[in-house]
Amino acid sequence: MSESEAIKPGARSLGAYEKHAVPFSREFAGKKVQAFFQPYFDTREGQPKRGELLTHPLQPIQSGDFFSELEISTQVELLAWLISAANELATKYQVHSSINIHNSFIEPITGRETFLKLVEKASSAITIEFTETFRMPPVETSNAMLRKVRELGHTTALDDFGTGLNGMSLLVDYDFDEIKIDRILTVGVDTSPKKTKVLSLIKEMLDVLEKTHVVEGVETKEVYETLCELGFTTFQGFYFHKPIPVDDYLHELEAESKK
């Protein structure tokens, strides 16, 4: 999911985040950035709470432009902060987080080495998402990195599948654990026989390749029911939950636990 997609800063003051060991807002490159969370919905019973940990500048700005233009040193700080936030969500609230990084960060070997050192510091299991909209390093190089992430106890995901540069090569040749299907393929699937057929074939391929999935952009009951009929089980979208500030999400969890 794009980090700028439909996210709006919450009304809660920044002081509300100070009670946590890890602050859920920080300043990077002179801009205040806030952590948001969007939970997944899983139709299978007994699954752990999971979702995507997103970042969003509080000032009016295009998130994509902001994050892609950050200096490498600032990207390192940002990723370290997100990993710390994911650790807190896991240890205190038993919530598994997915973190999206820009593929340009891992293009040079120095970037991959720094990335693995940061992931090694994660005390709880996380999922690292790599977007399809920016090229990955060559297959052998990428797979060595993905295997190392798995050895460290984490999982990897291909984000925005269906929108990017390498298509089927990323799905078949790269050793991702999970595939996140972009909303471009899911919006209107309930009224599009072509999209229904394409998604049915994608589901068959994922089963053959033994990869898990998250279907993005689920915004209506009709789309959700169509996807369920195709065999999908894990979803992300406004029909279930919008991205909200992490602190607000934790308040929701606390309220649920008191019911």
pLDDT in tens, 76-105: 999 999 999 999 999 999 999 999 988 888
Nearest CA to 158 out of 147, 171, 148 is that of 171
Domains of the chain: 14-257 (3.20.20.450)
pLDDT in tens, 118-175: 999 999 999 999 987 778 899 999 999 999 999 999 999 999 898 865 567 788 899 9
Residues with Cβ within 8 Å of residue 104, at least 6 apart in sequence: 68, 111, 134
d(CA 181, CA 201): 13
pTM of the model: 0.88
